[in-house]
């Protein structure tokens, strides 16, 4: 998934603008995996919602991540990391490389709350909150290059201070990837500036915690356009089952499968991703914003792999499903 359309950005803006006024309690979702990060809170339920928000961040579902972090903050208003999570999820990623206007105000207010409640949290939490302050400005500039670089530099320092914390390493790697979205390799197959540091960081994280969802997700993106996408075989195979309830996470394995001619694996994985999307829709409703594109992309990858194996009926079924998921202007 390389970029979202203008229509998706508008839809996501509207959806996110409503996040803060949703009255219904955010629910718990199944299939998010076993990965957890203990944060400073006295509320077990707030901790559980924080973990859910973290899982959705790792799966690029920032709408659901914000809702989960907001519920954690409602349960424990002094949980600095819940506010940090909201502010984090308001930010860019490689598929959405800027801060939407509706999120800029939310990000500012939540980052301020994280800072106000940072006095009693752990040193690494304090440093993560401090680093995140470099990611945003008021007003948000159209060109984010300076802010992205400042955040990456700040996260590098946090990673140097906590070299055994897999989350810190993964978020540093993401910050580096945001400097060059979908541009880690040049046309000759050589790494662009920063790519080798990204790979070294993610490989270190995966040695610390081989089943880290975000590190595996990012590693696939980091090497898929390289001359040797097979470097991510292990990461791809892990992603098939790490977060079975997040369709985009399940789907990530197909990025390596199609690069390496593993067509049946791509089909099987994409079928599971589509099924995960359907389960999520039953709970959360129709996808909005960029999530609409992610769901369509799962059908797209399935159709492509089916075409490459001569399965015309299967391919056309998912071509139609892909088109049905997209807005008319996409």
Task: Assess if residue 261 is contained within a domain.
Answer: no
Q: Which domain holds residue 194?
A: 6-242
Is residue 266 a part of any domain in this protein?
A: no
Number of domains the chain is built from: 1
* Residue 203: alpha-carbon gap to chain centroid: 18
Position 57 pLDDT exceeds 50 = yes
**pLDDT value of residue 10:** 46
135 in a structural domain:
yes
Residue 324 lies in a domain: no
Tell whether the model's pLDDT for residue 22 goes beyond 80. no
| CA end-to-end span of the chain | 14
Residue 121 lies in a domain: yes
Return the closest-CA partner of residue 111 out of 131, 138, 84, 136: 84
* The pLDDT value given to residue 317: 98
Q: Which CATH number belongs to the domain containing residue 99 in this structure?
A: 1.25.40
Assess if residue 330 is contained within a domain.
Answer: no
Q: Is residue 84 in some structural domain?
A: yes
pLDDT tens-place string over residues 268-325: 999 999 999 999 999 999 988 889 999 999 999 999 999 999 999 999 999 999 999 9
For 206-216, how does the pLDDT look when each residue is reduced to its tens digit (9 = 90+)? 999 999 999 99
Residue 101, pLDDT score = 85
For residue 320, is it within any domain? Answer: no
Q: Going by C-beta distance under 8 Å and a sequence separation of 6 or more, which residues neighbour residue 158?
A: 124, 127, 128, 131, 168, 172
What is the average pLDDT across 189-199? 99
């Amino acid at each position: 998934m390389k970029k979202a359309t203008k229509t998706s950005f508008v839809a996501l803006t509207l959806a996110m603008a409503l996040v803060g006024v949703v009255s219904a309690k955010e629910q718990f979702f199944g299939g998010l995996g076993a990965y957890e990060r203990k944060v400073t809170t006295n509320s077990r339920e707030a901790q559980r919602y924080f973990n859910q928000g973290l899982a959705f961040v790792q799966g690029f579902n920032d709408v659901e991540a914000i809702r989960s972090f907001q519920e954690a903050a409602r349960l424990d208003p002094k949980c600095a990391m819940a506010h940090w999570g909201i502010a984090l999820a308001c930010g860019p990623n490689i598929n959405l490389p800027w801060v939407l206007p509706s999120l800029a105000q939310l990000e500012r207010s939540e980052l301020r709350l994280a800072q106000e409640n940072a006095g009693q949290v752990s040193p690494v939490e304090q440093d993560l909150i401090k680093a995140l302050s470099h990611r945003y400005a008021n007003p948000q500039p159209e060109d984010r290059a300076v802010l992205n670089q400042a955040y990456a530099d700040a996260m590098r320092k946090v990673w140097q201070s906590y070299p055994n914390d897999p989350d810190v390493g993964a978020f540093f790697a993401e910050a580096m990837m945001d400097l060059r979205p979908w541009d880690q390799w040049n046309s000759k197959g050589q790494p662009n500036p920063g790519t080798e540091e990204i790979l070294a960081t993610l490989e270190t994280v995966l040695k610390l915690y081989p089943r880290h969802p975000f590190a595996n997700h990012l590693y696939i993106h980091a090497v898929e356009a390289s001359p040797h996408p097979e470097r991510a075989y292990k990461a791809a195979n892990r992603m098939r089952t790490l977060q079975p309830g997040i369709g985009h996470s399940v789907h990530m394995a197909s990025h390596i499968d199609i690069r390496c001619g593993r067509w049946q694996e791509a089909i099987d994985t994409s079928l599971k991703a589509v099924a995960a999307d359907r389960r999520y829709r039953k709970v959360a409703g129709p996808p909005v914003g960029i999530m609409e594109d992610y769901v369509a992309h799962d059908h797209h990858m399935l159709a492509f792999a089916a075409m490459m194996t001569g399965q015309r009926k299967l391919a056309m079924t998912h071509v139609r499903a892909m088109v049905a998921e997209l807005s008319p202007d996409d």
